[in-house]
Amino acid sequence: MSDYIVRATAANTQIRAFAASTTNLVETARRNHFTSPVATAALGRLLTAGVMMGSMMKNPTDVLTLQVQCGGPIGGLTVTADSRGQVKGYVNNPDVMLPPKNGKLDVGGALGPGFLNVIKDMGLKEPYSGQTMLQTGEIAEDLTYYFATSEQVPSSVGLGVLMEKDNTVRCAGGFIVQVMPFVEDDVLDRLEANIQKIQSVTAMLDNGHTPEEMLNQVLEGLNVEITDTIPAEFYCNCSKERIEKAIISIGKKDIQSMIDDGEPIEVKCHFCNTAYQFGVDELNVLLKKAAR
C-alpha cells in the first residue's frame, strides 16, 4: 500500500491531528543511503515527522527542514519536506552500528546530545527558524519539546520504524496531535487519558493500524474528523543541471584542478545519493561558464 498522510480535527477543532504511514518512503531512504538498522530508524522517524510537519504548511512552495546537529556517532541528520507530501533526507554517518538498548534500536545513543533545528522557508525575506536542545535523542520526545517551547503548542508526537529480520523496513509511521489555545479541560483530560493507555506507535503499526486507526485510538471519544488525505513519497528534485550549477559555483581554480587530474568525476546528491558523472570534456564546458 502507498504511503499517505491524513489531516484531522477533533473535539470541534480544539484539537488538530496528523498521522502518516511511511513504510515505503523510509524503505526508499534506506535503499538509497544503505543505512544501518539504527540509522534507518533515526532517519525514518525524522522523515515521518518531516512529512507530517511539511503538510502543516500552507503554500505549495513552502519548504520545511528538520536538522539534527549532534555529538553521537550518527553525526547528524537532515530532512526536507514540502506541503505536498514529498520528503527527502540523509544521515551523516549511515553505517553507524550500536548494540541494542532494552532490546530496541538505540536511536538516542546514535544521536547523543545535540540540537534540533526547525527551518520553515515560506518565501518571506527571512525563513522562520527555531532551535531546541535534544531531550532524549529518540526524536518524538525532541519534537514534542520543540513544539512546546519554540512554538508554544502543546503536542503529542509518536513515531515508529520497525525492521524485518533482513533489515529492510517492515513498517513505519506516526502521528502528531496538537491542542489549540482554547481547548477545554475535559477535552484535555480525555486526550491525556487516551495517550496514557494507547499502544506504542510501533505496536500499532505492527498490528497493521492505518493512520486513520491510529488517530481513532489517540482521539477516542473526541469526535475525530478526517479533513483530507495526501499521498506521501520520498522525492528528490536533484538533476544533472542542478549539480552542474553547484560545480560552476566552486570556481575556475577548483574546476581546472579536476580537469588537470584527467579523470571523470562523480558527484553524489546528499539527499538521495544519486551519482552524477562528469567527463573531462564536460568539465571544460563548465569551466567556461564559471564566473571566477
Q: Which residues bind Zn ion (CB under 5 A)?
A: 236, 238, 269, 271-272
Write down the least CB distance from residue 237 to Zn ion, Å. 7
- The dihedral built from the CA positions of residue 5, 232, 237 and 96, taken in this order, carries a sign that is positive
Per-state percent for the chain, helix, strand, coil, to nearest 5:
35, 30, 35
Q: How far apart are CA 203 and CA 50, in angstroms?
A: 21
Q: Give the 3-state secondary structure of residue 173.
A: strand
Residue closer to Zn ion, measured from CB, 47 or 236: 236
Q: In the sheet where 63-70 sits, what is the strand order?
A: 128-133, 114-121, 63-70, 77-82, 86-91, 233-234
To Zn ion, the closest distance from the beta carbon of 175 in angstroms equals 28
CA distance 155 to 141: 10
* Other beta carbons within 10 Å of 263: 10
In the complex, minimum distance from the CB of residue 244 to Zn ion, in angstroms, rounded to a whole number: 14
Surface-to-core class of residue 290, CB atoms within 10 Å of its CB (0-12 exposed, 13-18 middle, 19+ buried): middle
- Which residue, 159 or 269, is less far from Zn ion as judged by CB? 269
Cell numbers 505549495: residue: 60
Closest distance between Zn ion and the C-beta of residue 240, in Å? Answer: 11
When the beta carbons of 29 and 218 are compared against Zn ion, the nearer one is 29
Indicate the residue among 18 and 234 with the shorter CB distance to Zn ion.
Answer: 234
Please report how close the Cβ of residue 89 comes to Zn ion at its closest, in angstroms.
11
Of residues 26 and 215, the one with the C-beta less far from Zn ion: 26
Q: Which is nearer to Zn ion, 175 or 271 (CB)?
A: 271
Q: How far is the CB of 236 from Zn ion (least distance, A)?
A: 3
In the complex, the smallest distance separating the C-beta of residue 67 from Zn ion, rounded to whole angstroms, is 17
Task: Pinpoint the alpha helices (H) of 112-251.
Answer: 140-150, 185-197, 201-206, 211-218, 240-249
Exposed / middle / buried, residue 36 (Cβ in 10 Å: 0-12, 13-18, 19+): buried
Which of residues 94 and 158 has its CB atom nearest to Zn ion in the complex?
94
